[in-house]
Structure 1
């Protein structure tokens, strides 16, 4: 099976589209992650994308509201 991208990051995962364990590769990252650090992976067979790893929160921290005296 030919590689979709020329990066060495490759792992086997269960592909929902292929209904079986398939090799997954990391496509070039448009989000600025270092090579090998991006959570996006794509099935080398069909291109189905999955996210692996922990999600980072980008929501602002809410400040508690106090009643005026």
Structure 2
């Protein structure tokens, strides 16, 4: 995605479905994220959804520990 921001909830980027540069918007967040903080984005033309995030926004994975034989 390009960094063309017009507001925290709207940006321009490449849409794989439309095969071109399109506006993306953030739909209302059901997870309680503040405007501009939600990783969910949707193409304003076709609705193709994408997730954007950073390493800080992911949760660590618990590792399964098994006893040695």
State the TM-score, normalizing by the size of structure 2.
Answer: 0.70
Q: From the superposition, tell whether residues 63 and 16 of structure 1 become closer, same or farther in structure 2 (CA, over 3 Å).
A: closer
RMSD of Structure 2 on Structure 1 (CA)? 2.3
Higher-strand-fraction structure: 2
Question: Which structure exhibits the higher relative contact order, with contacts defined as CA atoms closer than 8 Å and separated by 6 or more residues?
Answer: 1
* Aligned mates of 2:58, 2:43 — CA distance in 1: 23
* Aligned mates of 1:57, 1:16 — CA distance in 2: 27
Structure 2 residue ranges without an equivalent (≥5): 1-6
2:50 counterpart residue number = 50
Rg comparison, structure with higher value? 1
How many residue pairs end up in the alignment? Answer: 61
State the TM-score, normalizing by the size of structure 1.
Answer: 0.70
Give 1:57 deviation, angstroms: 2.1
